[in-house]
Amino acid sequence: MPPLDHTPRIRPYRPTDRDAVADVCVRTAQLGGDSRAIHPDPRLMPSIFAEPYCHFDPGLAFVLDDGTGRAVGYILGTADTERFVADFRRSWIPRLAGRYPEPAGPPSTPTEEMIRLLHHPERMLVPELAGYPAHLHIDLLPGRHGRGCGRRLLHTFLDALHARGVPAVHLGMVTANTPARAFYDRVGFHEIPVADAGPLTYPGRATSRE
Residue 38 within any structural domain of the chain: yes
Name the more confident of 7 and 167.
167
pLDDT at residue 7, rounded to an integer: 83
pLDDT at residue 179, rounded to an integer: 86
Q: Which domain holds residue 19?
A: 9-169
**How many structural domains does the chain have?**
1
Give the sheet arrangement for strand 168-170, strand by strand: 9-12, 62-65, 71-78, 134-140, 168-170, 203-206, 190-191
Residue 80 within any structural domain of the chain: yes
Domain of residue 102, CATH code: 3.40.630.30
Q: For residue 19, what pLDDT band results from cuts at 50, 70 and 90? A: very high
Looking at residue 58, the DSSP 8-state letter turns out to be: G
Q: For residue 145, what pLDDT band results from cuts at 50, 70 and 90? A: low
Q: What is the CA radius of gyration of the chain?
A: 17
Q: Are 157 and 75 in contact (CB under 8 A)?
A: yes
In this structure, the number of other CB atoms found within 10 A of the CB of residue 163 comes to 9
- Asked whether residue 140 carries a pLDDT value surpassing 70, the answer given is yes
Residue 175 within any structural domain of the chain: no
CA distance 134 to 206: 10
Mean pLDDT, the chain, integer: 93
Residue 42 within any structural domain of the chain: yes
- Asked whether residue 57 carries a pLDDT value surpassing 60, the answer given is yes
Residue by residue, DSSP assigns 109-151 as SHHHHHHHHHT-GGGG--GGGTT--EEEEEEE-TT-SSSSHHH
